[in-house]
């Protein structure tokens, strides 16, 4: 028995990762993300203490008994981008690509830690060793575009303040 309601033959070969198989069977629409995805891609020295799963925003996940699971809700464009299917122990598991995982680590850096995100970026660069590295990272979909800032005054950080270009001038000046 793998989990409540999940069974397998007693003479079947041992599973290499029974936790992931149980999660994939219970939550087939969920996607393995963040530290768990980094571990599968070989881009971290961290040992995942829980299985990180992404689900669409406002979605629900089936309860998986006795397994530590962390759930992260993604908006629809970010949820469906960069999903790969991996076969582990004859079960298809949905997981984010290496590039998407690195981007998500920076997106959730306050939850998983900046050191993990930086380590993932360094390992990704070591593994890829390609000239189109920036294209691969930029291709992953993030939640929303970040505002672009431009400085008034000197290029070398004069005393004038920064103005955000996506707000009306009246909001920036406080008028």
Q: Hey, what are 2's tokens? A: 């793998």
Segments of the chain assigned to CATH 3.30.460: 18-138
User: Residue written as tokens 């995982």?
Assistant: 101
Tell me if the pTM is above 0.75. Answer: no
pLDDT tens per residue, range 107-160: 999 999 999 999 999 999 888 875 454 544 444 444 444 444 444 444 444 444
pLDDT tens per residue, range 36-66: 999 999 899 998 999 999 999 988 887 777 7
pLDDT tens per residue, range 77-92: 999 999 999 998 889 9
> What gap in Å lies between CA 135 and CA 99, rounded to an integer?
10
Choices 3.40.50, 3.30.460, 3.10.590, 1.10.3470: CATH for 18-138: 3.30.460
On the 0-12 / 13-18 / 19+ scale of CB atoms within 10 A, 168 is: exposed
């Amino acid at each position: 028995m793998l989990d409540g309601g999940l069974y397998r033959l007693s003479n079947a070969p041992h599973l290499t990762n029974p936790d992931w198989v149980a999660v994939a069977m219970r939550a087939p629409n969920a996607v393995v993300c963040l530290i768990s995805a980094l571990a599968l891609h070989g881009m971290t020295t961290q040992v995942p203490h829980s299985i990180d799963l992404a689900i669409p925003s406002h979605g629900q996940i089936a309860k998986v008994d006795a397994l530590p699971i962390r759930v992260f809700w993604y908006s629809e464009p970010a949820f469906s981008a960069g999903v790969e299917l991996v076969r582990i122990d004859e079960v298809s598991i949905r997981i984010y690509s290496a590039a998407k995982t690195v981007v998500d680590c920076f997106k959730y850096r306050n939850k998983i830690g900046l050191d993990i995100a930086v380590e993932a970026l360094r390992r990704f660069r070591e593994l890829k060793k390609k000239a189109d590295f920036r294209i691969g990272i930029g291709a992953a979909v993030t939640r929303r575009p970040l505002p672009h800032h431009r400085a008034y005054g000197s290029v070398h950080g004069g005393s004038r303040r920064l103005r955000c270009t996506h707000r009306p001038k009246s909001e920036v000046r406080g008028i």
